[in-house]
Structure 1
Amino acid sequence: MDPFVIAPVLPPFVDLVGTAVFALSGALMAARLNQTFVTCAFFALLTGVGGGSVRDALLGQPAFWLRDFWIAPVILATATFAWFLPRRWWEGRWLEWADAVGLAVFAALGTAKALAFDVAPLAAVILGVVTGCVGGIIRDVIAGVPSILMRPELYVTAAALAAALCAGLLLAGLAQPLAMAIAALAGFALRAAAMVWRIELPAYSREA
């Protein structure tokens, strides 16, 4: 057996944790915009499974949440929790912090899953970035707010760090749960630093 092939079995709770946190960011977006509970639940679903669904489509696999008994109930429970949460408890940057956690967890998860299907390492990293970023980007587009993708602060870069580190650690032979945890923490740390200290990438400014 090729020593670099990672078993295509990921801990079920990892999907649930990442989905719940990302779903919370979607639900809070709807709450921030003073939308109905239906919109809150829809945003939670869209954000929670959007990136993973795109990843699975590119892998030629059924979307991960369609055959999981717990994903949809967790998303609905998260939306309900957000709906009844007083605004004073989460107003501020809670949405951004929830999104940062989901970004890092899903980037690592997406990379591990791609490698499990024998995807080339660089392509696996790209799929990890897609998994971590696309749900939030779709959420912002549907909400009609400027996407984080169009701002210079580190976002995709944090997902890329988590994805690349996860791939490197897995290919080096580190145990899957530990590799994913280290990678997710690194991606979250970079995103958190960018939020706290306004770390940004330089914008294109070359004159003709």
Structure 2
Amino acid sequence: MFFTEDQRTLFCQVVLRLLERFHQRCLRSILNIHWSDFITNIEVLEMAEADSIESTLLKIQLRWVGHVSRMEDHRLPKIVLYGELSTGRRDRGAPKKRYKDCLKKSLGACHIDHCQWADIASNRASWRLTVRRAATSFEEDRRAHLTDKTTAATVSACPASDLSATNEPAADVDITPPLIFIREAKPKKKKEEDLYNQMTINLT
């Protein structure tokens, strides 16, 4: 089964969202947090002192590519990572993303220069420290973005909260009571009046 580039990206986003949801469910079960406690996902991660799935996958990817770059040149993983086809012709349309392209995107998210990462990865201890700091920075930026997004959604959901907090009416609010229209009763028809009069006479 073949996917287009947009479908593959969407599929990865859906899988990542499912993994994050499963991770949150496990943490909430361990910490005995009920849904009625109204605790956000960021607060759950802080209480558990854990990173998100996205940050963890990013750290694993960078550590693995550093390990591959330090391999000997005849090793198959390094050949696949750095190798290119000498002959061939690609189809029309946008080119499919390679692992290098995904790696370049991950390096950009961690603020690591994609032109110098191989030199840094040549030293194992230095590369592990760089990856650890980059993942921490990525997680902080991610949490800050989600916090701002939640705050903006909360403010937009209740824009009149400041107005209802004060007892004094605002200057631009019209406090004139609404007009009440009362419909006048229609006069009875002539036949109904005659019938009513006849019933009154018979009763008397």
Q: Same fold (TM over 0.5)?
A: no
Higher RCO, 1 vs 2 (CA within 8 Å, ≥6 residues apart) = 1
Q: TM-score, normalised by structure 2?
A: 0.34
More helix by share: 1
TM-score by length of 1: 0.33
